[in-house]
C-alpha cells in the first residue's frame, strides 16, 4: 500500500500528545507556531502536531521532536488579549515526519500518513474491544482525579469502530507523554487495542493497591480519630460535670499506668478500670471506689528494687554496731544469710524463713532492722498480734464498702520496693487466735512456692512477694501452728543478764537517749545508777523498760536544764534516781525470804521471760476437796492433782495425818490471777506448798524451784531453763532446785549467772521436800497462834 506524503506547517506541542480522532483546544503562543497556524488558515487548514521530547526547549529543531505526529485540521482560531491564539484542532491520522524546512516565519515538514493494515482478526478485536471498554469503565470509576462526563464515557462504551476506540479511550486517560506516544506509535488495530488495554490494566492494578493501602491507612486513622474524638468529647463532658481537672487526671492516670511496670495482666486490668472510671460521674461513690482501687494498683511497687547483695562481712559489722552481745544469735543469722546468698541464683532453693523467738525487748525487731541496713534494703514491719481474720492479711473484696488491701499489701506500698526486709511481728499471737484462716494466708505469704502469686482480695491480681526477705518474730514457739513452724529457721533469744543489760544500757540505750533528748555533753550517768535502774526500776527479760526509764530520766533532766541551765556535764548518781524516776518499783529486799508455811517459791517461764512464782496452799477442815485458783491452765491443774496424789501415797513419810484427804479441803492458789499460767513445771513447787500446809512445816523461800512431778514422785525436765535462771538471778535468788534431766542445758546459762547460783539437781520429789521443808516449830496452843497443821 502506498502511503500518502504531505507537506504542512508544524506546530510543536509541549507536554502533551494529541491522538487521532479527537477535537482538542491547543494554546499557541510561540511566534513560529502562530505563523504556522496563520499559514494553515490561508491554505487547506491542515497542520502536523508533533510533541517535543523536552518541553522546556523554546525553538525546537527536528532532533527535539518525536518522529511520529498527527495530521490535524484547524477548526477555530481565537486571538486572546495577550496575543496567544487559542486553536481548536481536529486530529485525523498518524503521520511520520520525514523532512523539515524553514519557511517564512514557520517550519514546514514533509510527512507520510500512516495507515493500519486493513485486515485484522475480527474475533480477537471483538474480544479486545469488549475488554478494553470494561477496563476503561473501571478505570474511570477508580480514577479519583479523572472527572469524565458520563456521556463521554457512554460514547466510548458505545463505540463500534476498532480504529477509533483505542485512540479515544487513551485520549481521555491521564497518561504521561511516554505512554501516549507509545499508543501513538503503535500500529495495527489489534496491537493498539492491546497496548491501550495493557496500560489501562496497569493503572487499575495501581489503583487497587493504592486503595488497599489507603484503606488501611484510613482504617488506622479512623480508629485513632474515633478514639481521639470520643476522648475529647468525654473530656468536654467531664469538664462540664466535674470541673477542669477530671480530664487531666485521667490522662495522668493513663500515663502512670503505662510507666508503672506492672505485669501485662495487671496493666490490662488497670486500663479496664480506668476506662470504667472515665465513664463515671466524677465524685460519685463508685468513681471514688474505682479511683481508690487504681491508686492502690499504682502505689504498690511492681519493679522498683533497692539494695545490694548479701555481704556477710558487712552484715556482721552492722549487727555488731547495733547490738551488744548476742554472739550466738548473730552467728546464726550470718549462717542463715550465707546459705541464702549461696542459693541466690538457685531458683529451686526454698529457704526457710528466719524466726526470732524471745521475750519482748531483747532486740528481735532491731536485729531485723540491722539486717535490712546491712543489705541497704528498705525495712517494713507489721504486727500480727491479735490478727484473727484472714481479711486482715489478705484484704476485703472490693465489693465491700470501705474495702482495703490487707496488711501485707499495705506494707508493700509503704516499702515502695519489691524486695524489702519484711518483719512479721508476733506471729505466735496471731496463731493463738487461730481460726484456720489467717495462718493459712500467712503460709501462702511465706511459702516460696506460692508467694510469687500472692492474691490480696482487694487488689484482685497476683502480686509477687518472692523477692521479699521475710523475718518473723514470736514470744513463744508453742503457739505457732505446726505448718508455719515447719517453714521457719528458729533462732531463740532468751533474755539478758543484769550484766548484759548494763553493757547494753551504757553502750547503746543511754547514748541514744541522750542524743534524742538533746542532752549530750550536759548529762552523764554513773554505772551504779544504771545498775540500780536495772534492779529497782525494771523487771524484764529484755531492755525495753530499761530504755523507757532512761528516756524518762533524760527528759526530766532536759526539762530541768531548760528551767535552770548548768555548766558542763551533770552526773546522775545512784542516790539521785528517786528524784528523777520516783520511788523504785522493785526492791530486791522486799522479796519474801523468810520461811513460810503453806507457800513455795517457784520458777516459771512466760512469753515475756522467766519469772518468780509463789505457790500458796491452805488446808481447812472439810471433805477432801481440792480447789485451784489463780487462772491456771488444765495442765497445771493436773500437775497439782498429781502432786497431791503423790503426797497421799507417801503421807506417813511426811508426817501427814492419816486420812487427811477426807477431812481437809485444800486450796492451792497461784497469785497474780490476771496472768494465765500453765504447764507442768510447777509440779514440785505445788507439792512443797501442799506438804507445808498439811504438815505445818515452813518452806524455805530462799530456794526457788522448777520441775514436773509424776505420780511416783519422779522429777522430770522442764523448758525455758535459761530464762528461769535469769529471772531467779535478777530477783536475788541464790539457790535453785532443778530437775537432774536439765543438767545439760546449764551450759547455755551465762557464766556470770551460774557463778552466783547454788544449783541442786534432783530426781525425786522427796529430795526437794527434804531440802526445802524445815522442821515444824514446837506446837503452840491453837488459840494463841492459828496453825495450818491439822489437829490430830
Ligand atoms: P523486740 O523486738 O525483741 O521486742 P526491740 O528490737 O524492740 O525488741 O528492742 C528494744 C530496744 O532494745 C531497742 O531499742 C533495741 O535497739 C534495744 N536492744 C535490744 N537488744 C539490744 C542489744 N543486744 N544491743 C543493743 N541494743 C539492744
CB count in 10 Å sphere of residue 625: 11
The percentage of the chain sitting over the pLDDT mark of 70, rounded to a whole number, equals 93
Examine the pLDDT at 432 and tell me if it is beyond 50: no
Of all protein residues, the one whose alpha carbon is nearest to atom 15 of ligand 1 is: 363
Q: Which of 360, 358, 361, 367 is nearest to 316 (CA)?
A: 367
Q: Using CB atoms within 10 Å of the CB of residue 645, give its burial: 0 to 12 exposed, 13 to 18 middle, 19+ buried.
A: middle
Three-state helix/strand/coil letters over 450-484: CHHHEECCCCCCEECCCCCEEEEEECCCCCCCHHH
Q: Among all residues, which ones are annotated catalytic?
A: 681, 724
* For residues 236-253, average pLDDT: 71
For 95-104, 224-233, 469-478, 643-652, which range has the lowest pLDDT when averaged over its residues? 224-233
pLDDT for the residue 225: 78
**Three-state secondary-structure class, residue 575:** helix
Q: Which atom of ligand 1 is nearest to the CA of 493?
A: 3
- CA angle (438 as vertex; 432, 444 as ends), nearest 5: 125
With bands split at pLDDT 50, 70 and 90, how would you rate the model's confidence at 161?
very high
Q: Which residues line ligand 1 (CB under 6 A)?
A: 323-326, 360-366, 473, 504, 508, 542-544, 547
Rounded Cα–Cα distance for residues 579 and 166 (Å): 123
Angstrom CA distances, 367 to 326, 356, 468, 659, stand at 10, 9, 17, 58
Distance 411 CA to ligand 1 centre (A): 22
Bridge partners for 596 per DSSP: 699
Cβ proximity of 569 and 523 under 8 Å: yes
Alpha helices in 176-311 (DSSP H): 177-185, 189-242, 245-259, 264-279, 285-299
Examine the pLDDT at 1 and tell me if it is beyond 50: no
Burial annotation 46-66 (CB, 10 A radius, 16+ → b, else e): ebbbbbbeeeeeeebeeeebb
According to DSSP, the β-strands at 469-474 and 353-357 are parallel
**Candidates 318, 363, 516: which one to mutate for ligand 1, based on the most atoms within 8 Å of Cβ?**
363
Of all protein residues, the one whose alpha carbon is nearest to atom 5 of ligand 1 is: 363
Residue pLDDT, tens place only, 47-72: 999 999 998 888 898 899 999 999 99
Q: Which of 145, 737, 542 is nearest to 534 (CA)?
A: 542
Q: Could you tell me which residues come within 8 angstroms of residue 580 by beta carbon, excluding any fewer than 6 positions away?
A: 552, 553, 556, 557, 572
Examine the pLDDT at 247 and tell me if it is beyond 80: no
Residue pLDDT, tens place only, 497-552: 888 899 999 999 999 999 999 998 899 999 999 999 988 898 888 999 999 999 99
Q: Which three cell numbers stand for residue 406?
A: 490487707
Cβ proximity of 630 and 686 under 8 Å: no
Q: Using CB atoms within 10 Å of the CB of residue 460, give its burial: 0 to 12 exposed, 13 to 18 middle, 19+ buried.
A: middle
Examine the pLDDT at 752 and tell me if it is beyond 50: yes
Bridge partners for 454 per DSSP: 463
With bands split at pLDDT 50, 70 and 90, how would you rate the model's confidence at 391?
confident
Secondary structure element (H or E) that encloses residue 577, with its range: helix 577-581
Q: Give the single-character DSSP code of 94.
A: E
Inter-axis angle of helices 164-172 and 150-157, to 10 degrees? Answer: 150
Q: Which of 184, 192, 93, 202 is nearest to 143 (CA)?
A: 202
672 vs 183, residue with greater confidence: 183
Distance 367 CA to ligand 1 centre (A): 8
Distance 324 CA to ligand 1 centre (A): 10
Q: Which atom of ligand 1 is nearest to the CA of 425?
A: 2
Examine the pLDDT at 780 and tell me if it is beyond 60: no
Rounded Cα–Cα distance for residues 57 and 676 (Å): 117
| Phi, psi for residue 413 in degrees, rounded to 5 | -65, -45
Cβ proximity of 36 and 47 under 8 Å: yes
Residue pLDDT, tens place only, 104-160: 889 999 999 999 988 889 899 999 999 999 999 999 998 888 888 889 999 999 999
With bands split at pLDDT 50, 70 and 90, how would you rate the model's confidence at 232?
confident
* For residues 591-612, average pLDDT: 82
Q: Which atom of ligand 1 is nearest to the CA of 500?
A: 23
| Phi, psi for residue 204 in degrees, rounded to 5 | -60, -40
Examine the pLDDT at 785 and tell me if it is beyond 70: no
Bridge partners for 764 per DSSP: 714
Distance 576 CA to ligand 1 centre (A): 26
Q: Which of 642, 524, 628, 511 is nearest to 576 (CA)?
A: 524
279 vs 202, residue with greater confidence: 202
pLDDT for the residue 786: 44
Mean pLDDT, the chain, whole residue set: 87
Secondary structure element (H or E) that encloses residue 361, with its range: none
pLDDT for the residue 249: 80
* For residues 445-456, average pLDDT: 87
Examine the pLDDT at 678 and tell me if it is beyond 80: no
Query: CA gyration radius for the chain?
Result: 54
Handedness of CA 669, 670, 675, 680 (dihedral sign): negative
According to DSSP, the β-strands at 107-114 and 421-425 are unpaired
* For residues 567-586, average pLDDT: 90
Whether this model's pTM surpasses 0.75: no
Residue pLDDT, tens place only, 529-541: 999 998 889 888 8
* For residues 298-315, average pLDDT: 87
pLDDT for the residue 610: 79
Q: Could you tell me which residues come within 8 angstroms of residue 322 by beta carbon, excluding any fewer than 6 positions away?
A: 366, 367, 369, 370, 373, 508
DSSP per residue over 307-339, as a string?
-----HHHHHHHHHHH-SS-HHHHHHHHHHHHH
Inter-axis angle of helices 150-157 and 122-142, to 10 degrees? Answer: 160
Distance 53 CA to ligand 1 centre (A): 100
pLDDT for the residue 707: 93
Cβ proximity of 592 and 700 under 8 Å: no
Examine the pLDDT at 7 and tell me if it is beyond 80: yes
Of all protein residues, the one whose alpha carbon is nearest to atom 25 of ligand 1 is: 323
Rounded Cα–Cα distance for residues 772 and 685 (Å): 10
HSE of 101, CA atoms in CB hemisphere, 13 A:
12
Q: Which atom of ligand 1 is nearest to the CA of 359?
A: 3
Q: Which atom of ligand 1 is nearest to the CA of 367?
A: 6
Residue pLDDT, tens place only, 621-645: 888 888 888 888 888 888 888 888 8
Distance 553 CA to ligand 1 centre (A): 19
Q: Give the single-character DSSP code of 736.
A: E
Rounded Cα–Cα distance for residues 646 and 508 (Å): 51
Distance 323 CA to ligand 1 centre (A): 8
The percentage of the chain sitting over the pLDDT mark of 90, rounded to a whole number, equals 45
Examine the pLDDT at 671 and tell me if it is beyond 60: yes
Q: Cell 534516781 belongs to which residue?
A: 577
Residue pLDDT, tens place only, 393-409: 888 888 888 889 999 99
Q: Which three cell numbers stand for residue 280?
A: 463515671
With bands split at pLDDT 50, 70 and 90, how would you rate the model's confidence at 436?
low
Q: Which three cell numbers stand for residue 237?
A: 463532658
Angstrom CA distances, 424 to 383, 408, 428, 447, 519, stand at 6, 9, 10, 14, 34
**Three-state secondary-structure class, residue 391:** helix
For 325-329, 418-422, 468-472, 574-578, which range has the lowest pLDDT when averaged over its residues? 325-329
- CA angle (107 as vertex; 103, 110 as ends), nearest 5: 100
Q: Which of 706, 703, 696, 689 is nearest to 745 (CA)?
A: 706
Of all protein residues, the one whose alpha carbon is nearest to atom 22 of ligand 1 is: 323
Longest CA span, the chain:
176
pLDDT for the residue 524: 92
Rounded Cα–Cα distance for residues 646 and 653 (Å): 11
Cβ proximity of 197 and 139 under 8 Å: no
* For residues 377-383, average pLDDT: 93
| Phi, psi for residue 381 in degrees, rounded to 5 | -145, 135
Residue pLDDT, tens place only, 405-423: 999 999 999 999 999 999 9
Burial annotation 742-771 (CB, 10 A radius, 16+ → b, else e): beebbeebbeebeeebeebbbebbbbbbeb
Three-state helix/strand/coil letters over 581-635: HCCCCCCHHHCCCCCECCEEEEEEEECCEEEEEEEEEEEEECCCCEEEECCECHH
pLDDT for the residue 547: 95
Distance 360 CA to ligand 1 centre (A): 9
Cβ proximity of 526 and 754 under 8 Å: no
Inter-axis angle of helices 364-374 and 327-342, to 10 degrees? Answer: 40
pLDDT for the residue 245: 66
Q: Which atom of ligand 1 is nearest to the CA of 368?
A: 6
* For residues 245-254, average pLDDT: 78
Q: What is the chain's length?
A: 792
Three-state helix/strand/coil letters over 420-434: CEEEEECHHHHHHCC
With bands split at pLDDT 50, 70 and 90, how would you rate the model's confidence at 378?
very high
Burial annotation 89-125 (CB, 10 A radius, 16+ → b, else e): bbbebbbbbeebeeeeebbbbbbeebebeeebeeeeb
Amino acid at each position: 500500500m502506498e502511503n500518502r506524503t504531505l507537506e504542512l506547517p508544524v506546530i510543536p506541542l509541549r507536554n502533551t500528545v494529541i491522538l487521532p480522532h479527537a477535537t482538542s483546544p491547543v494554546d499557541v503562543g510561540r511566534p513560529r507556531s502562530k505563523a504556522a497556524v496563520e499559514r494553515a488558515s490561508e491554505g487547506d487548514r491542515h497542520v502536523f502536531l508533533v510533541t517535543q521530547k523536552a518541553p522546556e526547549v523554546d525553538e525546537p529543531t527536528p532532533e527535539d521532536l518525536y518522529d511520529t505526529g498527527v495530521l490535524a485540521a484547524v477548526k477555530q482560531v481565537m486571538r486572546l488579549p495577550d496575543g496567544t491564539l487559542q486553536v481548536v484542532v481536529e486530529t485525523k491520522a498518524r503521520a511520520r515526519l520525514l523532512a523539515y524546512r524553514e519557511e517564512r516565519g514557520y517550519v514546514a515538514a514533509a510527512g507520510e500518513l500512516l495507515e493500519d493494515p486493513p485486515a485484522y482478526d475480527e474475533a480477537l478485536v471483538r474480544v479486545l474491544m469488549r475488554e478494553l471498554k470494561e477496563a476503561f469503565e473501571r478505570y474511570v470509576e477508580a480514577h479519583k482525579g479523572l472527572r469524565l462526563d458520563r456521556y463521554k464515557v457512554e460514547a466510548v462504551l458505545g463505540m463500534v469502530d476498532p480504529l477509533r476506540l483505542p485512540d479515544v479511550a487513551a485520549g481521555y486517560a491521564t497518561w504521561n507523554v511516554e505512554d501516549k506516544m507509545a499508543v501513538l506509535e503503535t500500529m495495527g488495530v489489534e496491537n493498539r487495542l492491546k497496548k491501550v488495554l495493557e496500560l489501562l490494566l496497569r493503572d487499575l492494578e495501581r489503583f487497587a493497591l493504592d486503595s488497599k493501602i489507603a484503606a488501611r491507612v484510613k482504617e488506622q486513622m479512623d480508629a485513632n480519630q474515633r478514639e481521639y474524638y470520643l476522648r475529647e468529647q468525654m473530656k468536654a463532658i467531664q469538664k462540664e460535670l466535674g470541673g477542669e481537672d477530671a480530664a487531666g487526671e485521667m490522662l495522668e492516670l493513663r500515663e502512670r499506668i503505662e510507666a508503672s511496670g506492672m505485669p501485662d495482666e495487671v496493666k490490662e486490668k488497670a486500663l479496664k478500670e480506668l476506662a470504667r472510671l472515665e465513664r463515671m460521674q466524677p465524685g460519685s461513690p463508685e468513681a471514688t471506689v474505682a479511683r481508690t482501687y487504681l491508686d492502690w494498683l499504682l502505689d504498690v511497687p511492681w519493679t522498683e528494687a533497692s539494695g545490694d547483695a548479701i555481704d556477710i562481712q558487712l552484715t556482721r559489722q552492722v549487727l555488731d554496731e547495733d547490738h551488744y552481745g548476742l554472739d550466738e544469735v548473730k552467728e546464726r543469722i550470718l549462717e542463715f544469710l550465707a546459705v541464702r546468698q549461696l542459693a541466690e541464683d538457685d531458683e529451686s532453693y526454698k529457704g526457710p524463713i528466719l524466726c526470732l523467738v524471745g521475750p519482748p525487748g531483747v532486740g528481735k525487731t532491731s536485729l531485723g532492722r540491722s539486717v535490712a541496713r546491712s543489705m541497704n534494703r528498705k525495712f517494713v514491719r507489721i504486727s500480727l498480734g491479735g490478727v484473727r481474720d484472714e481479711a486482715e492479711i489478705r484484704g476485703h473484696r472490693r465489693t465491700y464498702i470501705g474495702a482495703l488491701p490487707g496488711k501485707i499489701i499495705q506494707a508493700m506500698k509503704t516499702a515502695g520496693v519489691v524486695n524489702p526486709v519484711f518483719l512479721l511481728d508476733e506471729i505466735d499471737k496471731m496463731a493463738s487466735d487461730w481460726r484456720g484462716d489467717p495462718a493459712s494466708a500467712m503460709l501462702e505469704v511465706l511459702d516460696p512456692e506460692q508467694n510469687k502469686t500472692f492474691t490480696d482480695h482487694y487488689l484482685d491480681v497476683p502480686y509477687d512477694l518472692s523477692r521479699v526477705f521475710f523475718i518473723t518474730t514470736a514470744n513463744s514457739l508453742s503457739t505457732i501452728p505446726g505448718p508455719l513452724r515447719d517453714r521457719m529457721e528458729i533462732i531463740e533469744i532468751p533474755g539478758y543478764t543484769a550484766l548484759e543489760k548494763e553493757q547494753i544500757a551504757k553502750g547503746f540505750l543511754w547514748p541514744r537517749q541522750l542524743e534524742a533528748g538533746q542532752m549530750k555533753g550536759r548529762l552523764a550517768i554513773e554505772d551504779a545508777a544504771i545498775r540500780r535502774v536495772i534492779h529497782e526500776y525494771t523487771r524484764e527479760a529484755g531492755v525495753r523498760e530499761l530504755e523507757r526509764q532512761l528516756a524518762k530520766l533524760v527528759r526530766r533532766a532536759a526539762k530541768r536544764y531548760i528551767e535552770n541551765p548548768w555548766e558542763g556535764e551533770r552526773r546522775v548518781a545512784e542516790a539521785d534516781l528517786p528524784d528523777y524516776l520516783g520511788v523504785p518499783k522493785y526492791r530486791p529486799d522486799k522479796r519474801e525470804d523468810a520461811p513460810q508455811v503453806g507457800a513455795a517459791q517457784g520458777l516459771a517461764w512466760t512469753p515475756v521471760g522467766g519469772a518468780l512464782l509463789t505457790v500458796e496452799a491452805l488446808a481447812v477442815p472439810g471433805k477432801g476437796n481440792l480447789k485451784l485458783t489463780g487462772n491456771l491452765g488444765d495442765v497445771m491443774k493436773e500437775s497439782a492433782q498429781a502432786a497431791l496424789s503423790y503426797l497421799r501415797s507417801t503421807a506417813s513419810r511426811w508426817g501427814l495425818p492419816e486420812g487427811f484427804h477426807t477431812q481437809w479441803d485444800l486450796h492451792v492458789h497461784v497469785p497474780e490471777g490476771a496472768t494465765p499460767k500453765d504447764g507442768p513445771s510447777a509440779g514440785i513447787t505445788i507439792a512443797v506448798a501442799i506438804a507445808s500446809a498439811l504438815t505445818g512445816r515452813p518452806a524455805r523461800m530462799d530456794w526457788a524451784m522448777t520441775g514436773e512431778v509424776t505420780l511416783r514422785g519422779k522429777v522430770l525436765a522442764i523448758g525455758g531453763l535459761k530464762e528461769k535462771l535469769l529471772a531467779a538471778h535478777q530477783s536475788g535468788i541464790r539457790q535453785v532446785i532443778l530437775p537432774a534431766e536439765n543438767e545439760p542445758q546449764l551450759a547455755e546459762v551465762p557464766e556470770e549467772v551460774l557463778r552466783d547460783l547454788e544449783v541442786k539437781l534432783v530426781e525425786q520429789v522427796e529430795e526437794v521436800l527434804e531440802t526445802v521443808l524445815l522442821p515444824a516449830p514446837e506446837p503452840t496452843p491453837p488459840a494463841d497462834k492459828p496453825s495450818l497443821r491439822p489437829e490430830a
